[in-house]
Amino acid sequence: MPLDYKRFNGPEDSVSYKRFTADYLKSYDELHSELIDETGHRKDGRAMDEARPMYVRGNFVSQAKGSSYIEMRGTKVVCSVFDPREIVHQNEFSTVGLLFCEVKFAPFACKRQRQSHVPDSEEKALSVALRKAVGPTVCCQLFANFQIDIFVYIIESDGSCLAAAITAAGLALANAAVPMFDVVTASSVAIIGDKIFIDPTEDEEHLAMISPDTNTNHGVITMARLNGLMQIADFRQIGSLDIECILKVTDILEQECQKVFPKIQKTLVGYVKNGIMEQKRLSEEGKAREAKLKDKMLEWRSSIVNNSV
Amino acid sequence: MAGILLSHTEKVYITHGVKNEYRSDGRSNIDYRPMELETDVVSHASGSARLRLANTDILVGVKTEIDVPKPDKPGLGKIEFFVDCSANATPEFEGRGGEQLANSISNIMLRAYQSAQAFNLKQLCIFEGKQCWKLYIDILVTLCRIGEKCVVDPTAEEESCSLVSLIVGVTGNPKYYNDYEDEEELPAFEAKCSVISMHGPGSVSPQNLRDAINQGIIAAVCLDEALGKTLFRERRDTEQFKRHSYGFLK
C-alpha cells in the first residue's frame, strides 16, 4: 500500500489483529458452508436471487451541484457531481467534454483492512470502471472543452461497491442536470461453484475470489445498463468462469439492473416535482412582497403630498 | 501514430464489410494477423518474450526475486505487473500520455491472473510464511496499440471506427505448459474466462455482447493452441541444437 508522507503512518509491519482470531483460520469449505444454511438462505436471511433493499436519495451534499446517497444495508455510498470547469492540465481545445471520476474508500470502510489516504490500485481500477460505465450516457458533446467531476466516496463497504457507485453516479449526474441520454443502473453477482449469489455481501465476494482446489467456477461479474435504451454500458468479469455461466449471468444481471431503475426514476421525478412546487411557492412569495412594497410606496407618496400641502 | 483520418465513406465501407464477414486485408471476422513470438530475448531477465503483431510490438520481461509472502496469504507467492507505454510507440505516449492505457492494461492483467486456475501462486511458495518467489512482469509497448473485439484483432483503421471493444482473457490449456511424458489421462479441458473488460466510449446491446464474448473465446482458444504448439516445438528444438537468435534486428 503506498504511504502518504504528509500523514503519520503506523509502523510499517503492523498487521490487523483479526489475523490472530479463530475466524481467520477457517478453511475454504468451512467458510463456504457458512454462507448458505439448510433452508437455502444466505447469512443475512435473503434468498439466493434476492437483492438487498436499497435506500436512494438525491440532494445529499449541499455544496455540490448534484449529489446522491445510496445505501444497501452494509454498503453506503455518497456521490457528488460538480459544475463543469475547464479541463485541467490541457492546453489544446478538445471538441468533446471530459468526465473525471474518482472513487475513494473511507479508511474505516472495509472490514478486512484499513484503506490508506493515497488511492491504491484497486481504487484507481474502480475509478476507471466508473468512467467506462457512466461515459456512454453523458452527452459530452454539449460541454466541449470542459470537464465534469464525479466523486464517489464509499463510507462503508459490504460488497457490490462498484455497482452501488455506478448507480449513485448516474443519479447524482441527473440531480446535477447534466445532459444525459439515459439513466444508468448497475448490479453485480458472485458465483461460487454452481451457486449464483445476487448482490453479494463482502464475505460472499471474498469467497468468490478465492479459487477452490477443484477446477470449478468462481468469480464476480458487474454489469452497468442503460435502461431506456436497453444497452449494456459496462461488463466486468474477474475470476474463472465458463462460457455458459457467463451467458446465463448476463440475463440475470440485466433483470437486476432493470429492477433498480424504477427507484431511481421515482426519486428523480420526486425531485423535479419538488423543484417545480418550490419555484411556484417562491414566485408567489415574491409577488406578495412586491405587492406589499407597492402599497407602502403609495402610502409614502401620499403622505408626502399631504405634508407638503 | 499520426492520427488515423478516415472519411465517412471509408468508415461505412469498413462497417458494411465486417457485417458481411470480409475485411480490407482479406481476413474473416475471427482471423488473427500472423504473429511472431520470440522467447529469451533479454538475457538478464529470468524469462522474456517479444511479440510482434503487424505494427504492434511488445516486449515482456519476467524477473524473479525472493520475498516474504503476504501475512494473510502465507502459502502463496506474489506476482506484480508493470506496463510501460514508451514514447517509441506513438508520440501520444510521450510523458504521461500513455499512463491511462498502461494502467488499464495492468488492471486487466491483474484481474486475469487473480484466479488460481489462471496462474497458481502456490507454485511460487518456497517456505510457507517465510519465503516465496515474487515475479515482476514488465510489459513494454514499443509500437502502436493493442485491441481485440467482435472483429478479432482489428487494424488501426478498424479500431478507429469502433465505439466499443471487448477484451477477453482465457485460461491456458495445461497440456502445453507441463511436461506430459506419455499419453496420460489428460483432464478434460474446458476453456474458462479469466477476465472480461469493456473499453471505448459507447455501449452495446446485450445480444452483441453475447456474440462478442463467444467469438472472443473461440478466437482465444485457437490462439492458445497455436501458441502452445509453438512453445512446445521451440522447447524441443532448443534441446537439440543452439537456435539462431533473431532479436530486434529483423
The string of pLDDT tens digits covering residues A120-175 is: 888 988 998 999 999 999 999 999 999 999 999 999 999 999 999 999 999 999 99
Q: What is the pLDDT of residue A189?
A: 95
Q: Which long-range contacts (CB under 8 A, 24 or more apart) does B126-132 make?
A: B126/B66, B128/B69, B128/B74, B128/B75, B129/B69, B129/B74, B129/B75, B130/B68, B130/B69, B131/B66, B131/B67, B131/B68, B131/B69, B132/B66, B132/B67, B132/B68, B132/B69, B132/B76, B132/B77, B132/B78
Residue A9 in any domain: the answer is no
Query: Contact B155/B25 with Cβ under 8 angstroms?
Result: yes
Helical spans, DSSP H, in A82-146? 121-134
Exposure string for B93-105, b = 16+ CB within 10 A, e = fewer: beeeebeebbbbb
Q: Does A110 touch chain B (CB under 8 A)?
A: no
Higher pLDDT, B192 or B151: B192
Interface test with A, best of B82, B117, B190, B207 (most A CBs within 10 A): B117
Of B116, B201, B204, the CB nearest to A135: B201
Q: What is the CA radius of gyration of chain B?
A: 20
Name the pairing type of β-strands A146-156 and A98-105.
parallel
Q: What is the pLDDT of residue B140?
A: 60
Least confident of A26-40, A43-57, A180-194, B108-122: B108-122
Residue A135 in any domain: the answer is yes
CA distances from B128 to A17, B68, B245 (A): 20, 9, 39
Q: In this complex, do A209 and B190 lie within 8 Å of one another by their Cβ atoms? A: no
Higher pLDDT, A189 or B237: A189
Q: Which residues lie below 8 Å from residue A306, measured CB to CB, with a gap of 6+?
A: none
CA distances from A265 to A115, A151, A166, A176, A183 (A): 33, 21, 15, 15, 8
Q: In this complex, do A250 and B199 lie within 8 Å of one another by their Cβ atoms? A: no
pLDDT tens readout for residues B12-31: 887 777 777 777 778 776 67
Q: What is the pLDDT of residue B247?
A: 58
B214 contacts on A by Cβ (under 8 Å): 243, 247
Interface test with B, best of A238, A245, A248 (most B CBs within 10 A): A238
Chain B nearest CA to A232, separation (Å): 5
CA distances from B2 to B79, B91, B92, B144, B153 (A): 36, 8, 9, 11, 20
Q: Does B72 touch chain A (CB under 8 A)?
A: yes
Residue A119 in any domain: the answer is yes
DSSP summary character for residue A138: B
Report the amino acid identity of residue A36: I
**How far apart are alpha carbons B51 and B227 in whole angstroms?**
11
Q: In this complex, do B198 and A235 lie within 8 Å of one another by their Cβ atoms? A: yes
Higher pLDDT, B235 or B3: B235
Q: Does A7 touch chain B (CB under 8 A)?
A: no
Most confident range, picked from A108-117, A241-250, B122-131: A241-250
Burial class from Cβ neighbours inside 10 Å (0-12, 13-18, 19+) for residue B144 reads middle
Q: In this complex, do B195 and A237 lie within 8 Å of one another by their Cβ atoms? A: yes
DSSP summary character for residue A211: P
Q: Which residues lie below 8 Å from residue A86, measured CB to CB, with a gap of 6+?
A: A145, A146, A147
B213 contacts on A by Cβ (under 8 Å): 243, 246-247
Interface test with A, best of B193, B197, B205 (most A CBs within 10 A): B193
Torsion sign over Cα B113, B118, B232, B37:
negative
Q: Nearest residue of A to residue B215 by CA position?
A: A243
Number of domains chain A contains: 1
Q: Does A191 touch chain B (CB under 8 A)?
A: no
Task: Summarize the confidence of residues B110-138 as an average pLDDT.
Answer: 70
pLDDT band at B144 (very low <50, low <70, confident <90, very high): very low
* B 183-202 → A contacts, CB under 8 A: 187, 190-199, 201-202
Give the three-class secondary structure for A34: helix
Query: Contact B81/B139 with Cβ under 8 angstroms?
Result: yes
Residue A120 in any domain: the answer is yes
Domain with A236, as residue range(s), is 17-308
Chain B nearest CA to A117, separation (Å): 19
Task: Summarize the confidence of residues B126-135 as an average pLDDT.
Answer: 69
B111 contacts on A by Cβ (under 8 Å): 238
Higher pLDDT, A118 or B183: A118
Question: Count of CB contacts below 8 A, A vs B?
Answer: 97
**How far apart are alpha carbons A131 and A164 in whole angstroms?**
14
Ordered DSSP codes for A236-303: EEEEEE-HHHHHHHHHHHHHHHHHHHHHHHHHHHHHHHHHHHHHHHHHHHHHHHHHHHHHHHHHHHHH
Give the three-class secondary structure for A64: coil
Give the three-class secondary structure for A47: coil
**Is the pLDDT assigned to residue B46 strictly greater than 50?**
yes
Beginning with the edge strand found earlier in the chain, give each strand of the sheet holding A195-198 in spatial order: A195-198, A184-192, A218-226, A231-241, B193-199, B165-170
Q: In this complex, do A235 and B217 lie within 8 Å of one another by their Cβ atoms? A: no
Residue A56 in any domain: the answer is yes
Residue A294 in any domain: the answer is yes
Q: What is the pLDDT of residue A289?
A: 96
Domain of A146, CATH number, reads 3.30.230.70
Q: What is the pLDDT of residue A257?
A: 94
Following CA atoms A217, A249, B111, B165 in sequence, which dihedral angle do they give, to the nearest 10 degrees? 140
Cell output for B84: 510501460
**Is the pLDDT assigned to residue A264 strictly greater than 90?**
yes
Higher pLDDT, B149 or A99: A99
Q: Does B227 touch chain A (CB under 8 A)?
A: no
Query: Contact B241/A176 with Cβ under 8 angstroms?
Result: no
Query: Contact B106/A124 with Cβ under 8 angstroms?
Result: no
Query: Contact A31/A41 with Cβ under 8 angstroms?
Result: no
Q: In this complex, do A240 and B217 lie within 8 Å of one another by their Cβ atoms? A: no
**Is the pLDDT assigned to residue B125 strictly greater than 90?**
no
Query: Cα A6 vs. chain centroid, distance in angstroms?
Result: 29
**How far apart are alpha carbons B191 and B209 in whole angstroms?**
19
Q: In this complex, do A128 and B196 lie within 8 Å of one another by their Cβ atoms? A: no
A235 contacts on B by Cβ (under 8 Å): 166, 196-198, 209
**Is the pLDDT assigned to residue A268 strictly greater than 90?**
yes
**How far apart are alpha carbons A228 and A231 in whole angstroms?**
8
- Residues in chain A, total: 309
Residue A198 in any domain: the answer is yes
Q: In this complex, do B107 and A125 lie within 8 Å of one another by their Cβ atoms? A: yes
Residue A274 in any domain: the answer is yes
Of B110, B118, B196, the CB nearest to A235: B196
Chain B nearest CA to A76, separation (Å): 25
Q: Does B39 touch chain A (CB under 8 A)?
A: no
Query: Contact B83/B137 with Cβ under 8 angstroms?
Result: no
Chain B nearest CA to A240, separation (Å): 5
